[in-house]
Amino acid sequence: MRVRVPRILQRMQARFYPPRYLLAILVLGGFLRLAHLLALRSTLWFDNLDLDPAYYDAWAQRIAAGDWLGSQTFFVDPFYPYFLGTLYRLFGYSLLVVRLAQLGIGLCTIALVFELGRRMGGRVIGLVAAFGYAVYGPAIFNEMEVEKTALATFFLLAAVTLVLRKNSRAAFFGGIVLALGVLCRGNILALVVPIGLYLLLREKRWDVPGMLLFLAGCYLILLPVLWRNHYVGGEYVLTASIGQNLYQGNNPYNTGGNYGQVPFVRASPEFEEIDYRAEAETRVGKELTPGQLSSYWATEAWRHMRSDPGFAAQMMWRKLELVLNNYEVPDNQDYYFLAGFSPVLRLTHLSFGWLLPLAALGILSSWRQRESRLIAAVLLIYTAAVVAFFVSGRFRLPAMPFLVVCAALGLGWLVRQATEPKRRHIALVLAAVWLVLCAAFTFQELPFYDREANIVIGWRNLASLQTRVGRLADAAGSYERALALQTDSDLLNGEVALVYLELGRLDDAERALVRATELNPDFIDAWVILGQLYEDTDRTKLAIASFQQAVTLDPTDAILRGHLAVLQNASTQ
């Protein structure tokens, strides 16, 4: 059953031949993604990976070198590193090939968006939805990152599209594809039960074979992963980081709802497992298996929430606000910061905030469709699975194809109400009020979240990368851009001073170090470097004063005390 199509759209459907227009949309989507890829290729980020991308890349290179089985229980979702490793093995090490492959996956996602929209509302709805996803900036952004989000989005959409076909074979393959999605993003596992129930209840008579075939498809993919982890680690688990991720988003230090750094964990994937293990084993006084480690941190997260339910409820609400806000919460890379280097991201103005109100309207207007209720369940349960942990813009992308289709349905409903002979003025007014209220909610500035700080982090990270590859003049410029936004940062002043010293800009380095010590008198490294600068420029009295400050802050540093004594003796001779 489809939603009733307005007459104006019926006339358009008679004229619109899908292959021709869908091809045009795919060409447009491909052009935008290729243009963004070319813009990205001219930056340092293209070949210099960091955080999650660097972690996946290193793992993939080990796989390409022949280490297909591995020796430890999977800590994170494993499909993407194997996808990368396969590409590296077939085509050699090339991040360009990876991004081109993901561009192709993005185009397949656009085609599936059309198919889902066509199935629910007709050809025009499908084309509108496909166009929306083709020009959706965060989709373009994530598809060109060396990261698993593009694959997770494609697999989830493909699984639901297959399930909506009313035959058992499609249900079986839907289970297979959904399981691949689970191995890309673990919280997709929460959708197995609702999709299985949909298959069971989609007809007047229970479709038990369809549900069982769907579950069989899931198990066909997931059971080998469970066996593999038991073989190398002795435990039947898919991954061993669920507890850590739950604690990451639900602990006394996380007051924002996004990825918040825990004091005892370094904010890098290569150290997270090590640091969480070290802290847990110190607390319990014994070694823990990967499964026990995950269970320990899950228990700690629940203990925290039970001990302070008011704080936990407030954080859950903040995470819900974040996931429903127009803002793309950054993680490995900042969408808005990268837009400064990509004209495509600056020009694609369709954002989450425009889609959410229309999508809600689309779900309400098509609620009689079983398919619409399934999509509503997918959106609600997937959103809950994100909110339960912590929020990032890339985490909600797997839900966006469904949101775009629902937004197209909502737009179609508005057109129908406005063009039918018997216009329903009350319905239009209520719809307008609903859209305004939703837009006001999703476009609101969140007082607990500092967007400008993320831009500062972007400039600082770029400066660090530029320093690492030897582009010191560019690094100084990036630090200066960051300091223009955050003048009261002792850390930024200290870091830019080191770059100034490498460039021989001694006056600038001195000003930055003096500023750093003014902002933070306990900044011992700044005092030491400032003392060295004064010593190198024959200003012994100032050097002695700086080193004395450093010794006062750390009287246990014997080398520093010895150097100060030498300077003091030399100054009296």
What average pLDDT score do residues 476-497 get? 95
Residue with tokens 């190198």: 536
Instruction: Give the pLDDT of residue 356.
Output: 93
DSSP state string for 352-409: HHHHHHHHHHHHHHTTTSHHHHHHHHHHHHHHHHHHTS---GGGGGGGHHHHHHHHHH
- Token representation of residue 554: 């750390």
* 131 exposure class (CB count in 10 Å sphere: 0-12, 13-18, 19+): buried
| 423-431 long-range Cβ contacts below 8 angstroms, 24+ apart | 431/361
Phi-psi region of 194 (alpha: psi -120 to 50; beta: other; left: phi over 0): alpha
Which pLDDT tens digit goes with each residue over 158-167?
999 999 998 8
Closest-CA residue to 9 (of 417, 304, 573)? 417
Handedness of CA 24, 27, 32, 35 (dihedral sign): negative
Answer whether 0.85 is exceeded by the pTM.
yes
Q: Which of 545, 114, 43 is nearest to 342 (CA)?
A: 43
Integer Cα distance of 132 and 124 in angstroms? 12
375 has a pLDDT exceeding 70: yes
Q: Are 394 and 149 in contact (CB under 8 A)?
A: yes
Inter-CA distances, 30 with 26, 222, 337, Å: 6, 33, 23
pLDDT of 13 > 70? The answer is no
CA distance 248 to 339: 28
For residue 402, the model assigns a pLDDT of: 97
Looking at this protein, which amino acid is placed at residue 393?
Answer: G
- Give the position of tokens 């996946």: 56
Compute how many other C-beta atoms are within 10 angstroms of the C-beta atom of residue 419: 12
Q: Which two tokens mark 49?
A: 């990976």
Burial class of residue 425, CB neighbours in 10 A (0-12, 13-18, 19+): exposed
Q: Cα separation of 185 and 182, whole Å?
A: 5
pLDDT at position 12 over 70: no
Tell me the mean pLDDT in the region 337-354. Answer: 93
What domains can you pick out in the chain, each with its CATH number?
7-236+327-442 (no CATH), 450-519 (1.25.40.10), 521-573 (1.25.40.10)
pLDDT score of 430: 73
Region of 254 please: left (phi>0), alpha (psi -120 to 50) or beta.
Answer: beta
How many CB atoms are closer than 10 A to CB 34? 15
Secondary structure (DSSP) of 161-185: HHHTSSSHHHHHHHHHHHHHHHTT-
Read off the pLDDT of residues 520-540 as tens digits, 9 standing for 90 and up. 999 999 999 999 999 999 898
In 50-122, which ranges are continuous DSSP H helix? 51-64, 79-91, 95-121
Round to whole Å and give the CA distance between 380 and 374.
10
Reply yes or no on whether the pLDDT at 11 is more than 90: no
Is the distance from CB of 564 to CB of 547 less than 8 angstroms?
A: yes
User: Other C-beta atoms within 10 Å of 118: how many?
Assistant: 21
pLDDT tens per residue, range 133-168? 999 999 999 999 999 999 999 999 999 999 999 888
Question: pLDDT digit string (tens) for 21-41?
Answer: 999 999 999 999 999 999 999
Residue 2: predicted pLDDT: 54
Q: Do the Cβ atoms of 77 and 188 come closer than 8 Å?
A: no
Q: Which region among 192-196, 501-505, 564-568 has the lowest average model confidence (pLDDT)? A: 564-568
More reliable by pLDDT, 417 or 472: 472
